[in-house]
């Protein structure tokens, strides 16, 4: 889908549909008599995400005038707009519309709104149909989306972010038989080459040499070889500070649970257990184009968690890259095992600030549902910065506690610690486990198990991977 700037006045725009936002109880400001009539007949009320379509609007060149509900005017912000354009696009796409232009009122023509509108359109347009054999699948494609007014810079930013988030979603939507650690590595390498980023991939032999026993313990039950993907972005001008952001994403391409096997029901969803890794790769894709002034390194440990004959057993003790030993009481708590070796490695690579993102626990789904990701930190100011970035990008997160008392649950009789802390506070003890491996480095852990996947489509987003994290990470690097 092409993204364009439209400079003509609204009446002269030659599009299949011109979209305007209508607010609740804001009939007086609705464009034209026909639009006012939609309000007065009750066909359109302005409620958020509502869509009404007028054909052959008088005085306009466009074929359709589309009223998209923006909710209450006072509550309208770029996050609402992102969803509104997504919903409008998804509705119009079904109707075979090919060219769409968005006209925003003057107070909503800032760069922030323009970028969000473009992101919403790209996100709404995205659908994974790589495995559908229907030859007609390309017929109902929207060819272009234009924004009236606005700056090219904002348009470009929206396009880069939207496309990068969709890149992430495309990776995470793929089934486990396709998206193996090897394919994820290849996709990462290709993306890095395309974007001019450095890429290095550690294979199994190299990881054994280094001593990444925690990660290798997880992958030994699968015939699929593991990998550690490392992608580096370096700013062209040497930065004045020593800060170096590390983004670490869980890349379990399928999580059966291993010998501590998961129940059959819903196990197919465990294809998205690499969504954290995919979001880090998506962020790097955008960072390469937006060129922030801070160096950023992405690290994606990727494995398949299978109960093969060589699989690790509950009770096995492994030695992590840090030198600390871990007793594996539950092989389904594999995400934290691969993350600790990645976090240790990130410190060796010189990262001064670490953010990890992972579909880590069912417990965070119980705590926060599918609305907000859980955020944990050992450094409050750093988390403040990330939460501000998340807020301005419309990605919902919520701080969770990390009191010392939780650490008790991880004490092992046979090793330095064990890998589970029981059912109570499961997402917190998982985070406490990770914290043990970051030392004094400012660190944030995001548990996105509830927010990385939609079980049902939203009006503005298809079923499947959401791409949570991509925009926040890019914003964090960009505004460093
Ligand atoms: N990948 C899962 C967590 C998960 C659950 C992601 C639901 C998405 C939706 C993770 O590896 C896992 O299995 N965690 C266990 C940990 C437990 C054994 C301590 C869990 O949360 O049940
Ligand atoms: Zn698991
Ligand atoms: Zn997992």
- How much is the pLDDT for 32? 76
Q: Within this chain, do residues 357 and 241 fall inside the same structural domain, yes or no?
A: yes
Whether pLDDT at 151 is above 80? yes
Q: Within this chain, do residues 192 and 55 fall inside the same structural domain, yes or no?
A: no
Q: Within this chain, do residues 108 and 166 fall inside the same structural domain, yes or no?
A: no
Whether pLDDT at 135 is above 90? no
The verdict on the CB of residue 333 being under 6 Å from ligand 1 is yes
Q: Within this chain, do residues 145 and 166 fall inside the same structural domain, yes or no?
A: no
Tell me, yes or no, whether 425 lies in a domain.
Answer: yes
- 4 and 145 Cβ atoms separated by less than 8 Å: yes
The verdict on the CB of residue 375 being under 6 Å from ligand 1 is no
Whether pLDDT at 42 is above 70? yes
Structure tokens at 32: 């034209």
Whether pLDDT at 51 is above 90? yes
- 344 and 437 Cβ atoms separated by less than 8 Å: yes
Q: In CATH, what number is assigned to the domain containing residue 122?
A: 3.40.220.10
The verdict on the CB of residue 334 being under 6 Å from ligand 1 is yes
Structure tokens at 36: 């006012």
Give CA–CA dist 29/93, Å, rounded: 27
- How much is the pLDDT for 334? 98
Higher pLDDT, 106 or 443: 443
DSSP letters spanning 171-239: HHHS-TTTS-HHHHHHHHHHHHHHHT-EEEEE-HHHHHHHT-HHHHHHHTTSSSPPEEEEEEE--SSPP
Comparing CA positions, the residue from 84, 77, 80, 83 lying closest to residue 20 is: 84
| Last-in-domain residue among 82, 114, 149 | 149
Per residue in 175-199, pLDDT tens? 999 999 999 999 999 999 999 999 9
Among all chains, which residue has been given the structure tokens 């059966």? 256
Band of the pLDDT at 137, cuts 50, 70, 90?
A: low
Tell me, yes or no, whether 33 lies in a domain.
Answer: yes
- How much is the pLDDT for 33? 81
Give CA–CA dist 360/404, Å, rounded: 20
Q: Which domain holds residue 403?
A: 161-478
Tell me, yes or no, whether 386 lies in a domain.
Answer: yes
Comparing CA positions, the residue from 145, 167, 154, 135 lying closest to residue 97 is: 145
Tell me, yes or no, whether 69 lies in a domain.
Answer: yes
Q: Which residues hold their Cβ within 5 A of ligand 2, which is an ion? A: 255, 332, 334
Please give the tally of structural domains in the chain: 2
| Last-in-domain residue among 98, 117, 149 | 149
Tell me, yes or no, whether 433 lies in a domain.
Answer: yes
Whether pLDDT at 36 is above 90? no
Say how many Å lie between the CA of residue 333 and the centre of ligand 1.
6
Whether pLDDT at 356 is above 90? yes
**Residue with CA at minimum distance from ligand 1 atom 3:** 361
**Residue with CA at minimum distance from ligand 1 atom 5:** 362
Provide φ and ψ at 324, rounded to 5°. Answer: -75, 145
Please report, for residues 185, 230, 244, 300, 338, the alpha-carbon distance to residue 199 in angstroms, rounded to integers and kept in the order given.
10, 6, 17, 11, 19
Q: Where are the alpha helices (DSSP H) in 41-151?
A: 78-94, 111-125
Say how many Å lie between the CA of residue 401 and the centre of ligand 3.
22
Band of the pLDDT at 7, cuts 50, 70, 90?
A: very high
Q: Is the pTM of this model over 0.75?
A: yes
Q: Within this chain, do residues 279 and 425 fall inside the same structural domain, yes or no?
A: yes
Say how many Å lie between the CA of residue 334 and the centre of ligand 1.
8
Q: Within this chain, do residues 280 and 384 fall inside the same structural domain, yes or no?
A: yes
Q: Within this chain, do residues 124 and 182 fall inside the same structural domain, yes or no?
A: no
Q: In CATH, what number is assigned to the domain containing residue 186?
A: 3.40.630.10
Which residues lie below 8 Å from residue 278, measured CB to CB, with a gap of 6+? 168, 169, 171, 172, 184, 249, 251, 465, 467
Q: Within this chain, do residues 387 and 408 fall inside the same structural domain, yes or no?
A: yes
Tell me, yes or no, whether 403 lies in a domain.
Answer: yes
Task: Tell me the pLDDT of the chain averaged across its residues.
Answer: 96
| Last-in-domain residue among 149, 177, 207 | 149
Tell me, yes or no, whether 154 lies in a domain.
Answer: no
Q: Within this chain, do residues 167 and 316 fall inside the same structural domain, yes or no?
A: yes
Closest ligand to C-alpha of residue 455 is: 1
Band of the pLDDT at 138, cuts 50, 70, 90?
A: low
Query: Average pLDDT, stretch 27-33?
Result: 79
Tell me, yes or no, whether 156 lies in a domain.
Answer: no
Cite the active site residues.
262, 336
- 360 and 250 Cβ atoms separated by less than 8 Å: yes
Q: Within this chain, do residues 216 and 143 fall inside the same structural domain, yes or no?
A: no
Q: Within this chain, do residues 286 and 414 fall inside the same structural domain, yes or no?
A: yes
Q: Within this chain, do residues 113 and 240 fall inside the same structural domain, yes or no?
A: no
């Amino acid at each position: 889908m092409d993204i364009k700037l439209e400079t003509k006045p609204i009446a002269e725009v030659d599009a299949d549909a011109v979209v305007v936002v209508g607010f609740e109880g804001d009939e007086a400001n609705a464009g034209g008599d026909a639009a006012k009539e939609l309000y007065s007949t009750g066909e359109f009320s302005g409620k958020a995400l509502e869509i009404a379509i007028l054909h052959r609007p008088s005085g306009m060149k466009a074929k359709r005038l589309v009223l998209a509900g923006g909710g209450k005017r006072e509550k309208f912000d770029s996050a609402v707009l992102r969803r509104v354009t997504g919903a409008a696009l998804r509705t119009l796409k079904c109707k075979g519309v090919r060219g769409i232009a968005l006209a925003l009122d003057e107070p909503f023509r800032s760069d922030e709104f323009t970028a969000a509108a473009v992101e919403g359109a790209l996100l709404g347009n995205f659908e994974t149909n790589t495995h559908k054999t229907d030859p007609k699948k390309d017929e109902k494609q929207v060819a272009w989306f234009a924004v009236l007014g606005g700056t090219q810079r904002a348009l470009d930013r929206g396009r880069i972010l939207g496309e990068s988030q969709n890149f992430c979603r495309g990776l995470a939507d793929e089934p486990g038989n396709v998206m193996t650690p090897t394919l994820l590595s290849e996709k990462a390498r290709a993306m890095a080459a395309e974007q001019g980023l450095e890429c290095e991939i550690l294979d199994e032999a190299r990881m054994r040499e280094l001593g990444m026993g925690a990660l290798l313990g997880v992958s030994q039950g699968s015939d699929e070889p593991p990998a550690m993907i490392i992608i580096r972005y370096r700013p062209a001008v040497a930065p004045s500070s020593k800060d170096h952001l590390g983004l670490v994403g869980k890349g379990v391409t399928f999580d059966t649970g291993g010998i501590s096997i998961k129940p059959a029901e819903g196990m197919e969803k465990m294809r998205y257990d690499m969504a954290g890794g995919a979001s880090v790769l998506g962020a790097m894709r955008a960072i390469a184009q937006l060129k922030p002034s801070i160096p950023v390194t992405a690290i994606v440990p990727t494995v398949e968690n299978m109960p093969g004959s060589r699989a690790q057993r509950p009770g096995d003790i492994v030695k992590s890259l840090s030198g600390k030993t871990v007793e594996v009481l539950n092989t389904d708590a594999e995400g934290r095992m691969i993350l600790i070796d990645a976090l240790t490695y990130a410190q060796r690579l010189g990262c001064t600030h670490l953010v990890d993102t992972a579909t880590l626990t069912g417990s965070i789904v119980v705590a926060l549902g599918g609305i907000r990701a859980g955020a944990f930190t050992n450094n409050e100011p750093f988390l403040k910065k990330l939460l501000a970035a998340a807020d301005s990008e419309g990605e919902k997160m919520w701080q969770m506690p990390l009191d010392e008392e939780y650490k008790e649950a991880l004490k092992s009789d046979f090793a330095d610690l064990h890998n589970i802390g029981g059912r109570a506070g499961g997402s917190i003890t998982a985070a406490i486990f990770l914290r043990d491996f970051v030392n004094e480095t400012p660190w944030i852990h995001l548990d996105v198990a509830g927010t990385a996947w939609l079980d049902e489509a939203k009006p503005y987003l298809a079923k499947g991977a959401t791409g949570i994290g991509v925009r926040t990470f890019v914003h964090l690097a960009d505004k460093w």
